[in-house]
Copies of this chain bind each other. A is one copy, B any other.
Amino acid sequence: MPAENTRVLALTGGVGGAKLCLGLDRLLPPGTLQILVNTGDDFEHLGLHISPDLDTLLYTLAGRANPAMGWGLEGETWNAMGALEQLGGSTWFRLGDKDIATHLFRTARLAAGDDLAAVTADLARRMAISSVVHPMSCQAVRTTVHSDEGDLPFQHYFVRRRCEPRVHGFSFEGIEDAAPNPAVMELLAKNHFSQVVVCPSNPFVSIDPILKLRGLWKALRDCDAPVVMVSPIVAGLAIKGPAAKMMAELRVPVTALGVARHYAEHYPGLVDYFLIDESDATLADDINRLGLKARVAPTIMNTLEQKIELARLCLALELR
């Protein structure tokens, strides 16, 4: 069991990160875990405000995620998409009927003047989620993928173009003006958290948008809690998503070391522990030389037990 005063902040993006969040959520007493979620993937589509990473996390924590698809809701139906296809509408972003309800709820509440944090808290409450789920910001930050097909809004790159275009960079529209989640910033300033866990999410399009919010990464670095990061690259492969393909296109070595170097360069002093998979044990010395403490563990999370076990390992890492 985690220690009495454990208070954890997790940073996460999509499916891979949600797995570790689920492990943390199931391991920790209710209310102990707070999760800061990337919203750079959010977009307005068919009039709806869609927050893919928030929804992936909410559905995962609620035990309602669709395990076969890797996204969306279990027991989903597709009648709206079928009818929209008959009308010749835009169906490249597949919205399930039940999933649409989440977007309608969010869109209506935002239109009524509530901010994304309040709407997210309400959704979490309605889904009986005990961990606290925070959007990284209530203001719009929109990830743009610079590619050989030009600048693509993230979902157009990710879903519509199935990550096929060659990537040569990213930008985050609005990030200068977006305030990092004020509740999380306040807790960081108060040294509320005993542990910070950066989940195995895409460094470029999931974690970077969070860390690049004004003042955020330095607040994480400067708080007393150890910052533990789990490598999203294992044995040269991304467990989920386009991270490996992006690294190759950016001419970064497609290894856990390449990821560690990215964080060491851009956020010096931020990461205390860098957890790599057993299959990458030979990289530990090089990672240590970057100033990150490498730790080796089984990081593949297929079962709930593996998720909880990795969560336990992350929380066991203490400073000194």
A182 → chain B, closest Cβ, in Å?
Answer: 25
| Complex interface: chain B residues within 8 A of A108 (CB) | 45-47, 89-90
Tell me, in angstroms, the Cα distance from A97 to B84 when the chains sit together.
10
| Known contacts A47-B111, A79-B77, A107-B46, A101 near B84 by CB under 8 Å | yes
Tell me, in angstroms, the Cα distance from A77 to B105 when the chains sit together.
19
A69 at the interface (CB under 8 A from B): no
Centre residue among A73, A87, A101 by max chain B CB count within 10 A: A101
- Write the chain B residue with the least CB distance to A122: B88
Tell me, in angstroms, the Cα distance from A122 to B90 when the chains sit together.
14
- Write the chain B residue with the least CB distance to A126: B87
- Write the chain B residue with the least CB distance to A106: B47
| Known contacts A47-B107, A108-B47, A100 near B100 by CB under 8 Å | yes
| A104 close to B84 (CB less than 8 A) | yes
A82 at the interface (CB under 8 A from B): yes
| Complex interface: chain B residues within 8 A of A46 (CB) | 104-105, 107-108
- Write the chain B residue with the least CB distance to A86: B126
If over half of A's interface residues share one DSSP class (helix, strand or loop), that class is named, otherwise mixed; here it is helix
A98 at the interface (CB under 8 A from B): yes
| A101 close to B81 (CB less than 8 A) | yes
| Complex interface: chain B residues within 8 A of A48 (CB) | 47, 104
A159 at the interface (CB under 8 A from B): no
Of B81, B105, B127, the contact of A89 (CB 8 Å cutoff)? B105
| Interface of chain A residues 50 through 85 with chain B (CB within 8 A) | 73, 77, 79-84
Tell me, in angstroms, the Cα distance from A80 to B76 when the chains sit together.
10
- Write the chain B residue with the least CB distance to A96: B79
A288 at the interface (CB under 8 A from B): no
Of B47, B81, B82, B102, the contact of A87 (CB 8 Å cutoff)? B102
A221 at the interface (CB under 8 A from B): no
A281 at the interface (CB under 8 A from B): no
| A88 close to B49 (CB less than 8 A) | no
Centre residue among A88, A105, A127 by max chain B CB count within 10 A: A105
Task: List 10 tightest A-B contacts by C-beta distance, closest first.
Answer: A83-B101, A47-B107, A79-B97, A84-B101, A83-B98, A89-B105, A46-B104, A97-B97, A46-B108, A80-B100
> Could you give 21 example pairs across A and B, Cβ below 8 Å?
A46-B105, A46-B107, A46-B108, A47-B48, A47-B107, A48-B104, A77-B77, A77-B79, A80-B97, A80-B101, A83-B97, A83-B99, A87-B102, A87-B105, A87-B123, A87-B126, A88-B105, A89-B101, A89-B105, A89-B108, A90-B108
Residues of A bordering B, CB below 8 Å: 44-49, 73, 77, 79-84, 86-90, 97-105, 107-108, 111, 122-123, 126-127
